[in-house]
Structure formats: structure tokens, C-alpha cells
Structure 1
Amino acid sequence: MLRNPNNLAYAVMTLLGVDVFLDLLLAGTEAWTLADPVAAAEATAPAGLALVGGAAYIATIVVFLVWFFRVRQNAEVWAGDLQSRTPGWAIGAWFIPIANLWIPRHIAADIWRASRRDPSAADGARELTLLNSWWGFWVAGAIVDRVASRMYKGAETLDEWTDAAAWSLAGYLLTIVAGVLAILFVRRLTSMQHAKATGMLSAAE
């Protein structure tokens, strides 16, 4: 049975927007660290901002997964035979270390194909550009952020701390771009499913 993903999509896009805004602020704190590391080291505001950002990120993950599962369920109705994995993977795949760097992208591509007018048609030359761009920036941001975290933990000198800040700044910038692309992806895929469902209802009347 088809389920409307519109309200969930609005919630996801709003939360992603909040994440992007907070990441911009956090990127600013890293830029401050590079410009004036001594003053930045004595500040307490960045730590509080990081906690707020972490809470917002967790909320985004929860709502995004509910939305992703819903659009995957709709894909099952339209083209279940073309889905490479069962609906449960739409949630579970994100929690498998290493494999979560590519399996969710494959699931998203299957959902995208099921949501277009002809699910069995060949992919257009640039049809998956938005998905691939979002995924590429997200993976790159996650990797760079992991490197920056380890560098911060092992930093013992001011130079090591500023090096970590430079990596962290790069990670935030990548994540910001990924967040914007994620908003566009959620908007586009939800619009595709809405148009397809509306067309089916109109044809049935």
C-alpha cells in the first residue's frame, strides 16, 4: 500500500537545513581556530555548539530513516521485482560498518528508478547525478571528519591542534555541501513519488 511521504520529507528538509546552519557555525569556529588558535582554545562556546549540532544530527537521522523506509515501501508497490534488497535494508544498511558507505546508495538508486514513470527504463545520462553528488560529498565528509576527530584526540602541540582544525574545517565544508544536496535529493524523490501516486489515482478515477 502506498503511503504519503510528503510530511516526513518536509520534516527531513527542515532538519537538514538546521544541520547545514549549525555546520556553518561550527565551520566558523574552526576557521577562528586557524586564525587565532590561542583565543579559540580558551573559548567554551564551540563545545556547546557542538552538543547542539550533535543533537540536531541525531534527530535528522531518525526522521530521515523513517522517510527513507517509507519511500522504499512505495518502491516495493511500483517495482518490487527491481529492488535489490528488502525494505528492512533501508534502515539496517546504514548501521553496517564500511558497507554503509555504498549499500544505502544502491537502495536509493533502486527507489529512484521505481519512482520514475517507467521503472524498467535505462538510466538517463545524468539521471543519477544528484544522488551520486550527494553521496560522494557525504562519504568524503564522513571520512575527513573521522580523520579530524582522531587528529584532535592525538594533538599535543599547537601545530597539531591547528592541523586538526584544518581537517575539521574541510570536513564541515564537505558536509555542508552534502546537506544541501541531500535536501534537493529528498525534495526531488518525494516529488517524483507524489507525481506518480497522483497519476495513478487520476487514472483510476
Structure 2
Amino acid sequence: MTPGLPTYRVRGIGLAACIAVGATAVLYLVVALGPLLGMVLARQARADGDGDLLLGAVLAQALLSLPMAVVYLTAAVLVIIWTWRARKNTDAFPGALPTLGAGWAIAGWLVPFANFVVPARVMAGVARDSLWRRFTPTTVVVWWSSWLVFSVGERVVSRRDSQAYDRLPEIPSTDAGYQAYIDYYGDSLLRNAVPAVACVVAAVTLILLIQRISAAQEARIASAAPVWPVAPVAPVWPVAPVSTPGTPGTGGTIGA
């Protein structure tokens, strides 16, 4: 370790980030499969002639999206904190060659357009300097590619779903009207397939990166720290011999 530079523990925050990322992927899959429930309710509404069931499908989708959004934001905060700590640790690793400052571990996600490139560059640098790779690990490339597909695809799907829903009859009164809802949910289910798969791939690869980098950094930090603290030892000064009456002192003369 480079003397004078602080290091940060990353295993605990990394574990929390992994749990949050995994939970986000699971909840997004639930949301992506939500149109299945919409199809069931739309068919039941057609059979019963009850349009209120269609409102239940909309409410169910909203209730599924709410916990996913909360966990997603939690995962984002934890990943950013972990990335900042991991990036700061590389400053103390002799031989590391970081190309971007630690501040970009946070700002890279917030600056428009830069957030398409900077987070990947920060993660690639941390991975190389922590795992001692000459080139960017393939896991980083897979993670960022799948994340971009998910991030862009989810927005596109959400916009297309909104546009398609606006074209539906507000209160269906015929079989054709109910069938339009059934078709809408079927198309939405298909549109969700690509971002759902990308979300799972991005989550799995990010969890692998966090675990591997955390383990490598913790091992290096531990190897550079002393096992037991050494207390300072007070110096021992030589003590001059003391002569007693009738006993010649060191260096003395008999009968003097």
C-alpha cells in the first residue's frame, strides 16, 4: 500500500449492493410478466362483460412497479457508493494506473450523455487495477452492453406501451373492444422480453464483478496491514552499578 493514502472496506457494502441488484432483477421480471395478469383479467372481463376488471389490471401493474422502483433506487445508491470506495482504494495500490478520478464514480451516472460511457470506464479501470488484468475483463463489457440494452429498451417499451394504451377504447362494450385489450397485453409481454433478458444478464455480471473486485481488494488490504498492533517499547538505559560499604565497586581499587 502507498503510505498516507486511505483505504476503504468494500465487502460489506458490496454484499448489500449485490442483494439489492439481485432483488431489482427479480422484481423487474415480475413487472415484465405483469401483462400475463392483464391478459387473464381482460379475457375474464370479456366473458363477464365487466369493464371494471380492466381497471384492476392497471392497478395491479402499478402496485407491481412501486416496490421495483424503490429497490432499484436503493441498488443504484449502493452500487455508486461501492464503486467510489473501490475506485479510491486503487489510489493506494502501487502499480495501479487509474485514468479517471474517484469523483467520476458518482458524477459519471448523473451527467447526461457521459452516463453512456463514464461508468463503464470507471468500472473497467477498477477491475483492471484490482484483478491485475492488462486488458478490460470481458465481464465488464458484457455488463455494460446488457445494461445499455436494458436501460434504453425499457424506456422504449414504456413509451410504446403508453402510446398503445392511449389508443384503446376507454369503455369497451363489444367483443372487439375487449379483444383490443387482450392484444395490447399480449404485445406488451412480447415487447418486455428483450429488456427483461438484458436486465438479468446485467444483474448477474454486475454481481460477479462486485464480488470478485471486493474479494481481491480486501485480500490486498489485509495483506498490507499488520496482524497484531505493535506497542511502542520504551528505551532501556544502562544503570550504573551501586557500591555498598565494604564492597568494592566496579573499577575501584582495593584499600583505596
SS of alignment partner, residue 82 of structure 1: coil
1:128 corresponding residue in structure 2: 137
TM-score (norm 1): 0.85
Deviates more, 1:169-178 or 1:146-155: 169-178
1:47 is aligned, of 56, 59, 62, to 62
Contact 1:20 1:179 in 2 (8 A): yes
Q: After superposition, where does 1:1-205 map in structure 2 within 5 Å?
A: 1-33=6-38, 36=40, 38=42, 41-42=54-55, 43=57, 44-78=59-93, 82-117=97-132, 122-123=134-135, 128-155=137-164, 156-157=167-168, 158=180, 162-201=186-225
* Equivalent pair of 1:2/1:73 in contact (CA under 8 Å): yes
- Aligned mates of 2:152, 2:228 — CA distance in 1: 48
Identity of aligned residues (%): 25
Taking the aligned partners of 2:75 and 2:111, their CA distance within structure 1 comes to 19
| Counterparts of 1:65 and 1:37, CA distance in 2 | 40
Cα gap change, 1:94 to 1:64, in 2 (>3 Å): same
Residue type of the partner of 2:204? V
Distance in 2 separating the partners of 1:81 and 1:190: 16
Deviation at 1:122, TM superposition (A): 2.5
Q: Which has the higher helix share?
A: 1
- In the alignment, the residues of structure 2 paired with residue 128 and residue 204 of structure 1 have an alpha-carbon distance, to the nearest angstrom, of 36
The one-letter amino acid of 1:30's match is: P
Q: What whole-Å deviation, never above 9, does each CA across 1:33-86 have from its counterpart, x for those lacking one?
A: 5x5582584412221110110011011111111111100110122158721111
AA matched with 1:170: V
Structure 1 unpaired stretches of 5+: none
For residues 169 and 116 of structure 1, do their structure 2 counterparts lie closer, same or farther at Cα, with a shift above 3 Å needed?
closer
- Quick check: which has more Rg, 1 or 2? 2
Following superposition, the deviation at residue 173 of structure 1 comes to: 2.4
Task: Work out whether residues 128 and 137 of structure 2, in 8 Å CA contact, stay in contact via their aligned partners in 1.
Answer: no
When structure 1 is superposed on structure 2, of 145-154 and 79-88 the one drifting more is: 79-88
Q: TM-score, normalised by structure 2?
A: 0.69
CA contact (8 A) 1:151 1:161 kept: no
- 1:112 is paired with a residue whose SS is helix
| Gap runs ≥5 in structure 2 | 1-5, 44-52, 169-179, 230-256
